Chains A and B, each alone.
Chain A
């Protein structure tokens, strides 16, 4: 009898594990059992402050570079603006407004947990819903796209990076606007593959790939990577393209979360339209 009860216990425990695994497959999952959990998050934050010390100089260089670029951009825009205000009269100038899909702001956060060697990687950040982060927000680094926020707790959030086959990033060629989904192949943290690019599309090695702006997560034009290699079989209709990712996930320390102001309005509208479509 005791022999059998051990077997039953074994089966019960394995079933619980399987339920946990299958619950984890969905897009949303319990924050309780992940590194978004407050206690686990705090422990990682502690060890991370230690590790971060060694990455400081590199992070510093990157920030300095970005700073210079931004300053240049500010000067450029200021010059344009002053020439424009001179030519336009002040009345019509006040009516100029930003187009609604471009109304977004950034929230900066620090990476406190990051893996690149698993077949499904996750990143934990040190900011959460207290700072206004919600699931499905886009996450970018200094060089380009990092991933999408998956779940949030008050103080932490968990990001699915490009290095996880669970997400697709809608991307397009900068030069000709042909778009396709970018997905990770599970092998190398430096590369991902671009699918659904048809045979007739013309492109070459080194071409730049940017976000398509067709999802609410990323605005158009954020750098993703460059074409590293491609091939196409005689019988295939689509190219097999290898993309070198712009972001170095091994040294990622700080990221920016994109807070799209009209997210709610746009999703509600799209949802209503889809629901009405179903009824008819």
Chain B
């Protein structure tokens, strides 16, 4: 029950931070970190997959409404949410019966970092490819994906390392 409330608050909080703070900060001209993906990353491991997809869809839609990108964030976030379970299975070995919340502590430092990097990259690559459909320019997109992902990953890991103490 406490965890459900925590997740709802995190959902709202991350959207507010993303839309009103991060979307207004433009590192080096065109890079903006996408912290909202942290919501998907931190849901309990055994959170029902259908509910995970629906919440990813809801979150993506809200972000899209605020940033005038109808559907792009939704597509990327649902995609990342769908691949979350396989990614967790690749990097960790969690007992059938247990239902931990992903963190440095429950996953171990190295698996957790790998997990965050993989999901963030999947999300950013999908998002920037979709965004660039109208004019494909790889020399522009690849640095954009790499730098944005790096900043998002660093932010997420920094937030998580503060929490575990």
Contacts and interface: CB of A to CB of B under 8 A. Distances in A.
B29 A188 contact: yes
A21 B133 CA distance: 10
A120 B135 CA distance: 10
Contacts of B30: 117-118
Contacts of B137: 186
A151 B131 CA distance: 21
Interface in B13-30: 20, 23-24, 26, 29-30
B140 A29 contact: no
Interface string B33-48: 0000000000000000
Interface stretch (B4-12, B74-82, B90-98, B103-111): B74-82
Contacts of B64: 20, 33
Given A14-B78, A17-B60, A33-B65, A120 B140 contact: no
A186 B65 contact: no
Interface in A41-55: 47, 51
Interface in A107-130: 115-120, 122, 124
A87 interface: no
Nearest to B74: A17
A13 interface: yes
B50 A115 contact: no
Which of B32, B74, B131 counts the most A-chain CB atoms under 10 A from its CB? B74
Interface in B45-94: 49-50, 53-54, 56-57, 60, 64-72, 74-75, 78-79, 82
Given A10-B82, A13-B78, A47-B20, A122 B68 contact: yes
B53 A10 contact: yes
A224 B134 CA distance: 24
A24 B67 CA distance: 13
Interface string A153-186: 0000010000001100000000000000000001
B65 A13 contact: no
A47 B64 CA distance: 18
B155 interface: no
Given A17-B71, A115-B67, A165-B135, 5 more contacts: A6-B53, A16-B71, A18-B75, A33-B64, A117-B30
8 contacts: A5-B50, A13-B54, A21-B72, A116-B26, A119-B132, A120-B134, A158-B68, A186-B135
Which 7 A/B pairs are nearest by Cβ-Cβ distance? A20-B71, A21-B71, A17-B75, A117-B30, A24-B70, A17-B74, A17-B71
